[in-house]
Amino acid sequence: MPPRTHPTRPLALPGALLLTTALLAAGLTGCSTLSPFNSCDDTATRVEELRSQPILRTAPDGATVPKDLASVDAGCIDDSGDAWLYAERIYAFPGPRQKVVDFYRTTAKAHGWHLQTAPEDQSAPETTAGLCFTRGDDGDALLLTVQFTTPRQLKIEHDYAAGPEFASGSGFELEVGSETDGSKTGCFD
């Protein structure tokens, strides 16, 4: 029997009444229950700072930027209720994934990034799981991820039909991300 995904009627009505009361009280007192940092309002400058991160333009020898994905894609996503800023770049690489991992372990460290490891699953190889780095403190904290991708994932996530450059070797995505206010965040929070 599949688990229930919706509360039963006796639980749903009191919950809805409690939420309505809380929202009404917040509105009447002039207080807001929402954080001012949860939207994409006024984040254009910070998005441009992410877009200009030098690490997005570093890649191992032989890596190429696909013609239709030549620019750094950057923006703000707030569809989950908690806005996230990002700048990402996609590369194709004809060599083994381990060369990509080795390159970014060295290059990111040289640029001040600190490698993080997943506490719950350290058995997954980096050539599958990818890499995650952090840099900065509250107010200017950044997250860097290196994730491997496939032509199928590129089609689903970017509506991009991968060309022959992805036929051998690995495709990978670099993303520099940040909370809208630059508050510190971890790779596995």
Q: Is residue 38 predicted with pLDDT exceeding 50?
A: yes
pLDDT per position as a tens digit, 90-138? 999 998 999 999 999 999 999 999 999 876 666 777 878 889 999 998 8
Q: Provide the CATH topology of domain 44-179.
A: Alpha-D-Glucose-1,6-Bisphosphate; Chain A, domain 4 (3.30.530)
Which stretches does DSSP call E strand in the chain?
Answer: 73-77, 84-93, 114-116, 131-135, 142-149, 170-179
**Tell me, what's the pLDDT at 15?**
41
Domain ranges across the chain? 44-179
Query: Quick one: pLDDT band at residue 148, thresholds 50, 70, 90?
Result: very high
**Tell me, what's the pLDDT at 125?**
79
Q: Whole-model pTM above 0.85? A: no
Q: Is residue 88 predicted with pLDDT exceeding 60?
A: yes
Cα–Cα distance for residue pair 7/71, rounded to 1 Å? 46
Q: Which of 31, 37, 32, 33 is nearest to 138 (CA)?
A: 37
Cα–Cα distance for residue pair 29/22, rounded to 1 Å? 11
Distances (CA, A) of 82 to 11, 43, 71, 178: 26, 13, 26, 11
Cα–Cα distance for residue pair 12/153, rounded to 1 Å? 38
The distance from CA 39 to its chain's CA centroid, rounded to whole angstroms, is 16
Q: Which of 92, 58, 75, 76 is nearest to 160 (CA)?
A: 92
Lowest mean pLDDT among 27-31, 100-104, 148-152, 167-171: 27-31
**Tell me, what's the pLDDT at 145?**
95
**Tell me, what's the pLDDT at 131?**
93
Q: Is residue 7 predicted with pLDDT exceeding 70?
A: no
